[in-house]
Structure 1
């Protein structure tokens, strides 16, 4: 690793949350936990990597044009950069954590000028619950979500997908990257299995619950439930993020197209 990159990496780690702060967050509710973590969230591994955002933006540029865009569960706003690249009009970030939204508003991009000299779309932040989105019907052409899947239990997905469909115009897209699961027996497999198992034990003995799991969004189930909610589903490989040994992509962009009623 080059020296400059190493120093940057160490500096980011030093600015991140301490083990004690992470423990306090883990014993809180989801909303309060993210309020606590918000000031240091962008210095954790939980923030969506720029490589994923860049690959998503590339894929979406071939699927537009789009006018208004929604970043669902936007957190500190990293994903809104994708919408501001591909949407011509308004970009909205929605999240239920006031702390995360405050960080997004404080650190989000200012002004409306693109690097290429064009005009950026307007940007706004809204506090709201993804289970009951605070928008009218058919407001957006594109909805994206990054890194929030684990906060929704499998039984909550149909309601979530119905909410997203309601705020999209006919033909609008709901897009999110979905990584291929690690192969059984690998270090990543045991790591995610261990995390989910520990979280289930934590939620069985401690209140309030903290819902965050890594293995609850299998592609086959997600595709089936999107279709049941009224979406046509296509998959778009994100080759920039690498290939598995069998040549399949490590990550795909799942794209649900809102079908007519």
Structure 2
């Protein structure tokens, strides 16, 4: 399914009926052959937006999966680059693809770092956290960054209500809620739980100063606004 290198429909069904961790362990060998892997154009747009703010020393990819975020971190960071994820299967793939990076298995809601990194990124992972869990992630990233460090991630504008994309995402999230209501363990994967206004407020509550940068290379919507923005959260040099 998706491509000759991607998982079969049966494999996806088994994954979807597993826990998030077990599901991604199963999917890991074929993950890069699915649309769930962050496209290079988004990684490259993020790199271009961050480049004027660098160079950085040490970088961290939060919820790193198979390591696609190294395409952004490696050109920007002169020192250590690392990834953290709770799936052993995904980390095994990442180690094979990027043997010079450091890979850490941990729950991102309890990040095991303190003032270690200058740049942290995450791609496509916030939908795997319930809204009530995001503050713990943001607090952990704030703690992991050195003063003056940056946490960045792309966020796309919601599709218009009249578009097929809007109803497809709404239908997916509804189906996932039904699945989690009737099946255990839960598989948390939602596309409509991370509105920009919500994550801005949560990042500010964690101690970040927050701005956004239009990712112009990803195009504009019909009303002229950008299809995607880079959320840029900075840990202040001195505490507020």
Q: TM-score range by the shorter chain?
A: over 0.9
The 5 Å alignment of 1:101-116 reads 101-108=91-98
SS at match of 2:217: helix
Q: Name 1:128's counterpart in structure 2.
A: 106
The answer to whether residue 72 in structure 2 is matched with residue 82 in structure 1 is yes
What is the TM-score normalised by the length of structure 1?
A: 0.89
1:238 to 204, 215, 219: 215
Superposition misfits of 4+ residues, deviation over 4 angstroms:
none
Note the C-alpha offset of 1:185.
2.2
Give the SS at the match of 2:165. Answer: helix
How high is the TM-score relative to the length of structure 2? 0.97
SS of the residue corresponding to residue 13 of structure 1 reads coil
Q: Which residue does the alignment assign to 1:34?
A: 24
In 2, Cα distance between equivalents of 1:13 and 1:123: 28
Counterpart of 1:257 (choices 228, 231, 234) is 234
2:146 aligned to which of 166, 169, 180: 169
**CA shift for structure 1 position 134:** 1.9
Counterparts of 2:209 and 2:97 in 1: how far apart (Å)?
35
TM-aligned CA deviation for residue 184 of structure 1: 0.8
Secondary structure in structure 1 of the residue aligned to 2:232: strand
2:44–2:71 Cα contact (<8 Å) kept: no
More displaced 10-residue stretch of structure 1: 222-231 or 19-28:
222-231
Deviates more, 1:60-69 or 1:24-33: 60-69
> Where do 1:80-229 residues align within 5 Å?
80-108=70-98, 123-135=101-113, 137-229=114-206
For structure 1, the residue ranges without an aligned partner over 5 or more in a row are 1-9, 111-121
Partner of residue 46 from structure 2, selected from 31, 37, 56: 56
Q: Deviations over 1:166-218 (max 9, x none)?
A: 00011100000000011112100000000000000000000000000000000
SS of residue matched to 2:233 = strand
CA distance in 2 between counterparts of 1:80 and 1:152 reads 22
Q: How many residues align?
A: 238
Q: Following the alignment from structure 1 to structure 2, what is the Cα–Cα distance between the partners of residues 214 and 28?
A: 19
Secondary structure at the counterpart of residue 252 of structure 1? strand
2:95–2:101 contact (8 Å) kept in structure 1:
no
**Structure number with larger C-alpha Rg:** 1
Contact 2:111 2:137 in 1 (8 A): no
Q: CA deviation at 1:240?
A: 0.7
Distance 1:179 1:128 in 2: 27
